[in-house]
Amino acid sequence: MTGSRLAGKDWSASNTALAVAALLSLYGCGAPEAGPSEGPSPSEARRVVLGTGEAEFESMDGEPQLRLVAGVQGGFHVWASFLAYGFTASNLAMVLTTSVEEAPESRIPLRATLPLRETVDDQGELAHAFAGFPAQVHDARCAHGKRVRLDISLSDGDGTAEDTRYCVAVVDEARRSLDCP
């Protein structure tokens, strides 16, 4: 007998080869090539670039000196803006945290759900943008010349993207405190 028995039937070598070929085609071996790659999955493509700017996104490269703006209620903030990539929602949940270096008590988390607008970045890539969020800085009258850390986290329920940037706070001399530690 030249074949083997499977489920009570005789199988020849040619039948076995056909069965193996059929199984392999089910798993994609020998299947026609797929079309162009669709790229990374949406969760892999999600990213955010934190910047500054009151009316539009401005890149925050390196550690720029950023002027702290006095708010109407007595606090000070730096303008935060961002570009978001890979999100499909038009509103994103944001957590933006500021802290003055070497002052753990200065950490201020700010939460908001923000409406975004579509834009095209400097490289021609489609993004969603938000400009002009007032990122409050703790004890800002004493923050002149200090390094400030800004952390942003965006999410839409399907994924999250994060970015961290640093700047050096600039406070107008007339607004600085004389009682700084």
Express each pLDDT in 120-176 by its tens digit: 999 999 999 999 999 999 999 999 999 999 999 999 989 999 999 999 999 999 999
- Pairing of β 76-85 and β 47-52: antiparallel
- Answer yes or no: is pLDDT of 19 > 60: no
Between CA 113 and CA 168 the distance in angstroms is: 27
Per CATH, domain 46-175 is 2.60.40: yes
Helices (H) and strands (E) in the chain, counts: 2, 13
Dist CA 87 CA 81 (whole Å): 16
Please write the tens of the pLDDT for every residue from 30-82: 333 443 444 444 445 899 999 999 999 999 999 999 999 998 888 899 999 99
The beta-carbon contacts of 2-9 under 8 Å, at least 24 apart in sequence, are none
Residue 89 has pLDDT above 50, yes or no: yes
- The pTM of the full predicted model, rounded to 2 decimals, is 0.74
| Domain chopping of the chain, boundaries | 1-35, 46-175
